[in-house]
Amino acid sequence: MMAEDRAVRTGVAPPGDDRSAEELFGQMGAVDEANSLRIREILDEHGWPGWSMVGEDGSLAAWVVIQHADRQLDLQELGLRYLHGAVDAGDASAGDLAYLVDRVRVAKGQPQVYGTQLGAGPDGELTPQTPIEDEANVDARRAEAGLGTLEEYYEEFRRAMEELPEG
């Protein structure tokens, strides 16, 4: 599921797959829908697919699918509850939890806790999609979640944007 999610978001097909970037981008909605249905089944049957159940890669894949289920806030909230429990039990990534917390809060128009959801402001500069709650202490919260400072994140994001192909 994660490989297909990545392909339809980047336009880069996995080896042996001859779909064009346009074809891949055009399938994003269908892939998100299919992935959302499957991850909901997994959550209902097993709870969060944590490290002990599916390894780090499997848990990361579950997080990616839920993180990208933006049209299904209820699924993101369900995933958030399960992920919170898994992190508390030491069975999932606190960093993944931080990103999902912010993703759900942004979807609800609420301030972010960790500053993970960025966009371009009117001047084209990076800016949080919603304000950051208690911004003076955001780096301490990010450190607790295993994330770098907010400035390091901005710099990493800028570098990633520069590496994208033109067009």
Residue 165: predicted pLDDT: 61
Whether 151 has a pLDDT exceeding 90, the answer reads yes
Whether 29 has a pLDDT exceeding 60, the answer reads yes
Helix extents (H) in 89-132: 94-107
Whether 91 has a pLDDT exceeding 90, the answer reads yes
CA 63 to chain centre: 6
Do residues 152 and 138 lie in contact, with contact meaning Cβ atoms separated by under 8 Å? no
Whether 69 has a pLDDT exceeding 60, the answer reads yes
Domain boundaries along the sequence of the chain: 1-92, 108-167
Each residue's pLDDT tens digit, 98-144: 999 999 999 999 999 999 999 988 888 889 999 999 999 999 999 99
Residue 23: predicted pLDDT: 94
